[in-house]
Each structure stands twice: as C-alpha cells, then as structure tokens.
C-alpha cells in the first residue's frame, strides 16, 4: 500500500519538485524522536551530525535574541539545507538575525542559494510585540539594523543574504522571483499576517515550503498577537497545502496548488 501511494505521488504533474519536498519534510518530522542533549544543554537532533557544520549555525542563532530556538530552529535549518541548488528563500521579519543565521548558514553549507531578509528594522509590530522590540532595541544601542548586520558578519554569512530594509508590503511591489521557502515571522496581528500572506504566497512555488512562526494551535494568544495561528487554522490546509506539521511554534507546510488569494 505504501509503495502504491508513492507511485501515485510520483505521477502528479508538478513532480519531481513535490516529491523532493515531501521527502524533505518527512525527514524533518522524524527528527522529533531523535533529540539529544548537546551544546551546553540545548536540545539538538542527533541527525544534525549528518550535515557537517550545520550545528555551528544553530549554536550561533541561539546566541542572538529571537524566537526560533530548539527543535524548530533545527527544523528550519534542515528545511533550508534540503532545498534545491540556487534556492530562493524569503524571510518576512528578520529582527536581529537569529533565524536568518539558520536559513543562510544552511545554504552556505550547500554552497548555493540566497536568503532575502525583509524587515523595516524600526521596532514596529503588533501591539503585543512592539514594546518588547523597543526594549531590545534600547539594549543593543538603538539600532536594530546595525545589530542585525553585526550578527550576520559574525556568522560569516553576508554573502548569502540580501537585506530589503522596508515593509514587506512595499518590497513585494517590485518582487518577481519564484520562492522555494517562505518564512513568515513578522507583524503578528491578524490584518498584517493576512496581508503579508496574500502579497507573498503567490510567489511560493508549487512544491515549495511555507513556514509560519508563532502559529501553534491550542495556545491562547494575546488579542493582537494571534494572526499567524489564525492564518494556519483558517487557510493552511488541504488541498492547497499538504504535509502540515508544527514543530515548536512553527508550522511547516508543502504548497500543492495556488488558491487565488
């Protein structure tokens, strides 16, 4: 039965891309049963050992203030690493570069691909998050962009990243490139998340990976901070998205078709 299902998948018109991404996501889900304590107490999957040098970027990322750590950080890095040659990754909401280091570090190990980081670097965001952003901005000397650049240089990843200093709704107006992995980690308000998704998801390739941070279901979020969770519950489901899993607080899904957003 299992082999018959695989043969059916392989006959889909968008292959081999979808089958490639399906195998990638399947392997990521398996990591949840392989956690081991390393790196000063942080949990990192044993499977990271199969990707030489990737654990370095997971460690560097963990040292940067941000919200993607532990098993979801590893899953994001492995998702980036498993993309095809010359992959295009777009991250909406980069802050100080914690997740950018994961995405770009993986592509550096692959020796190809670019991570496009979209952020206004002005501590703006939903009503719940903005005060936290401003506190962190003050703690790093008043410039989020300068701190982001410093973290990227320290990780040796400047050549893997293109920074778009602006709001995603403005940046998208000149965007034309198909995307292999779209990571949504910006303003968490419902209206902002919906707008970002409508603007950017049409560029995500059929067979591409959508990752939505802070979207775990069954959690009570602040009123202005529930946009990502609502996006997943309302929109990210079959037939347009398949193989939907949440690791940590990040939901991963495979885009199977366009949905006219």
Give the model's pLDDT for residue 16.
Answer: 52
pLDDT in tens, 243-257: 999 999 999 999 999
> What does R_g of the chain's alpha carbons equal in angstroms?
18
pTM value? 0.83
Domain 12-255 falls in which CATH fold? Rossmann fold (3.40.50)
Give the model's pLDDT for residue 75.
Answer: 92
DSSP three-state, residue 250? strand
List the chain domain ranges.
12-255
Give the model's pLDDT for residue 20.
Answer: 57
Give the model's pLDDT for residue 149.
Answer: 98
Give residue 156's region: left, alpha or beta (phi > 0; psi -120 to 50): left
Phi and psi at residue 205, to the nearest 5° = -60, 150
| Residue ranges in the chain whose pLDDT is less than 70 | 1-50, 260-261
């Amino acid at each position: 039965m299992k082999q018959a299902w695989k043969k059916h998948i392989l006959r889909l018109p968008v292959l081999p891309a979808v089958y490639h991404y399906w195998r990638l996501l399947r392997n990521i889900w398996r990591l949840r049963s392989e956690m081991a304590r390393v790196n000063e107490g942080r949990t990192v999957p044993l499977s990271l050992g199969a990707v030489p040098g990737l654990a370095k970027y997971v460690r560097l990322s963990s040292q940067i203030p941000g919200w993607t750590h532990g098993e979801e950080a590893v899953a994001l890095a492995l998702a980036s690493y498993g993309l095809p040659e010359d992959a295009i990754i777009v991250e909406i909401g980069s802050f100080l570069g914690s997740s950018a280091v994961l995405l770009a570090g993986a592509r550096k190990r692959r020796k190809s691909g670019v991570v496009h980081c979209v952020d206004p670097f002005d501590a703006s965001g939903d009503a719940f998050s903005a005060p936290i952003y401003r506190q962190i901005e003050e703690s790093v000397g008043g410039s989020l962009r300068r701190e982001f650049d410093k973290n990227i240089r320290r990780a040796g990843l400047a050549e893997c990243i293109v920074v778009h200093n602006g709001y995603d709704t403005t940046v998208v107006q000149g965007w034309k490139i198909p995307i292999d992995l779209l990571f949504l980690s910006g303003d968490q308000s419902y209206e902002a998340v919906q707008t970002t998704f409508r603007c950017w998801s049409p560029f995500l390739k059929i067979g591409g990976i959508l990752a939505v941070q802070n979207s775990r279901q069954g959690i009570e979020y602040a009123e202005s901070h529930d946009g990502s969770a609502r996006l997943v519950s309302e929109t990210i489901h079959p037939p347009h998205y398949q193989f939907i899993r949440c690791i940590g607080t990040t939901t991963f899904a495979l885009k199977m078709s366009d949905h006219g957003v």
